Structure formats: structure tokens, C-alpha cells
Amino acid sequence: MPILPIDTRRYGTPEMLQIFEEENRLQRMLDVEAALAWAHAEVGGIPRKDAEKIVKTASIRHVKLSRVKEIEQEIKHDVTSLVRALAEACGSSGAYVHLGATSSDILDTATALQLKDSLTLLENRLDNLEKNLLSKAGRYKRAIMAGRTHGQHALPTTLGFKFAVWTREIARHIQRLRECKERILVGKMSGAVGTQAGLGSNALKIQQLVMEKLGIKPAEISTQIVQRDRHAELICLLAVIASTLDKIAIEIRELQRTEIDELAEPFQRAKQVGSSTMPHKRNPELCERVSGLAKVMRSLVIPALENIPTWHERDLTQSSAERFIIPEACILTDYMLNLMTNIIENLQVYEKRMRKNIELTKGRIMSEAVMIALTRKGMSRQEAHEHLRRLAIKSTMEKQSFRKVLLEDKTVRKKMSEREISKALNPRNYLGTAVKQVELVIKKTRRERKARGLVD
């Protein structure tokens, strides 16, 4: 009976959910058992015909999940239940199933196979999000808006600049993900405590053959389990990715506030309901969902780190935690990436409101530009700053435009003409290298995407 939101399909994409479904997990474990039998035959350890029988039978078509669970109900051991069900289906060839292996050889290697599929999907999601952010950065590189610090108007910036910043953050996550695959996607075939004693004189060769067959690398050395620093690194990375998505979501949520109204996440006007009681509501619920799930993702970091310590060569303290955190981390990160890509792709941008909001301070947002202009006219930076601070307060208290206050001030008029004041107060004249930086980001990111084999 479904209980958790992942089970009910409220959260999760079909592609990632399929990777962690119970039957797929069973199939991955059977894949490892098949590869082990094949490797034994390759080095002459078992008859080839028996290995071929095991390989042919190691499928959920022949080894049913229901049968494995039936056996486990009796013996209380998951891997042994799989081994017995497979051996049972193989007839006399079943005598060679699981030869020289220990449970963790099958479990940890199967996990690596699932993670291989998961990371491929996650990288594709990151690629797609990067593509959409890149597109928006180019489209809005000159769309002027108020930059904010401490929630207050600071200096003019552009919307494209925000998208460019997010683009590079996602680009770094792609780089991190690609780099960590080398450390994370490893399996093992080393037997109890890791010495490979049960695999015989060809043990290292068997391990190499198994991993080559499965398309992953063998751990350089392991105890009875693959060391959990590898998995912890992945969970930490996925939590960082989730936090970036949270950061983007928060910005969109803030800018969708009624009194700001510069951005809005997609909303299906025909049928979507914003509130059960207030018909006018249009809540940023998609972005809020991302922010909420990011909290869950960050919470998974602690058990992932706690899984690194173990008693001697192994214990089972990792197992129960991993059954939650590894599927959950991959499923939720994938879902959040897919959700954010849709948000960015269909984001509504209100440029007129952005320009209107810049005028809320009646020109005071340009005080630094005027200060810099005064220093170029010979006034010291400190003197200019203090003088303009007082004039900004006067503008605020008297509810006058900053331009009017500047034009009436003798100190300013000695240094600057009316034309120069107007020029300094034009937000478009004080964007610095913002547009150029966006263009450099676009160029760099496109170059990286081309190197990754992406043509867009």
C-alpha cells in the first residue's frame, strides 16, 4: 500500500522512479550474479554450460520477486533469498550461483549499476536546465531591473545577469557530477572482509571481468563493503544541487510578490486553482515545492556522513539508512531539476514592472553613480559619499525626487551640470560590465557544452 509521496507518485519522474523500483533492483542484483558466473567460466572456474544457464536464468522473468520475498519471509536474509530463488530456477547449474561472493558484493555492485543510470539521467536534467538558463540569460541580458541587497534597492542590474549567475552555478554542478562518477560508480567482488579468499587464485581477474561486463570499475580495495565516503560524496553533491535550485526558487518567489510583481512561475490560467478560499490567489507553489524538498535533501547529508564509520570490516548500520537516502536523494533531485527546468522555460517576465520598480526610490538608486561622477570632478570619495547620504535622506523625508534635490544643491551644481546630473541618474548608464559579463558567460558555457557533445 503506497504511503510516502514518492510511493504515490506525487514526487518523482517516471524515468528515475523506474530505476529504483523493487523489481529493477532485483534485476540489477541478478545482473551481478550473472556476471559473476560468466567470469568464473572465463577463468575456468566453473563449467561454461552451467554459467550460460545461470546467465540465461538471471532475469525477473524467471526469478520472481514474489518468490524471493517468500523465501526471505522464512530465512530473514535478502541476498540469500535471491541466491536460493536463482539457484532453484537454474536446476543443477544452481550449485554455482554466488560462488565465492558475499552479500555486499551483490548489493554494493547493484547499487553502483543503479547509480550509473541515475547519474546519467541527472546529468541530462542538468544539461537541460543549463540550456534554458543560458537562453534566458541571452534574451534578458539588457532587461534592466533593480538589484537588491538586504531586500532593499541597491544598484541597477539586468535580469539576464541573474540568469547568467545561475547558469554558471549549474555548470559547476555538471562538472562536479562528471568528476565524481570516477569515485562513485565502482563495484566489488571481494568476498567476506574483502580478501577475495573464496574466489580462488583468479580472484582479481574475476573481479575485473565482472566489472567490465557490467560497465563499471572495481574499487581499488574494499573491506566487505564498498567504502561509504563514495556514497556520502554523492549525497552531499545532490544536496548542494538542491540548494542551488532552492536559491533560484526563492528569488522567483520573492520577485513574484504582489508588491514586486517582476516575475511569475507558470500558471495554467484555464483551470489551475491558487487557493481553496481566495479565488484571486496565484501562489508560487512550484517554487515553494522546490524549496520544501530542498530541506529534505539537506537532511539526507547527515545520515550519509554517518554511514562512513563502520565496525571493523563491516556492519549493517549503513544498510537501513541507505535504503531510504540513496533512492530518495536521486528521485527528489531529479524531480526538482525537472520541475525547475519547466519553471525557467515557462517563466513569465514583466519588464515594464521591472522598469517601474526602479523608480520607487525616486532616483536614489543612482546615488553611487552620482558619487562616482562627483569624484571625477575632483571631490574626495568620502566627502561625496557623506554629502549624497544627506541628500538621499532629504529626498526620502521630503518625498522629493533625487534629481530635484541634486539640482537644488549648490555643492553638486558647482561640480555637475543639469545634463551631467541627468546622465548620472539614468540607470542604463550605470550597468558597468553587466551585459559583457553575461555575453562572456554565454560564450564560455556554449564552449563547454560543445566539448560535452551538446550541439545547442
122-147 pLDDT tens trace: 999 999 999 999 999 999 999 999 99
Share of the chain above pLDDT 90, in %: 95
CATH of domain 103-265+280-355: 1.20.200.10
CB 221 within 8 A of CB 207: no
Of 66, 150, 280, 417, catalytic: 150
pTM of the predicted model, to two decimals? Answer: 0.95
pLDDT at 78: 95
Q: Please determine, for residue 274, whether its predicted confidence score (pLDDT) is greater than 80.
A: no
The pLDDT value recorded for residue 271 is 78
Catalytic residue among 201, 275, 299, 320: 275
Domain ranges of the chain: 14-96, 103-265+280-355, 364-424
The pLDDT-based confidence of 276 (bands split at 50, 70, 90) is: low
Task: For 14-96, give the CATH class.
Answer: mainly alpha
The verdict on whether 275 is a catalytic residue reads yes
Model pLDDT for residues 94-104, shown as the tens digit of each residue = 999 999 999 99
pLDDT score of 277 more than 80: no
Query: Is 364-424 a CATH 3.30.360.10 domain?
Result: no
Predicted confidence (pLDDT) at residue 259 exceeds the cutoff of 70: yes
**Segment 52-73, tens digit of pLDDT:** 999 999 999 999 999 999 999 9
Annotated active-site residue 417? The verdict is: no
- Between 267-271, 283-287, 423-427, the lowest mean confidence (pLDDT) is in 267-271
- Going from the C-alpha of 119 to that of each of 141, 220, 245, 298, 330, the distances in angstroms are 32, 21, 17, 18, 8
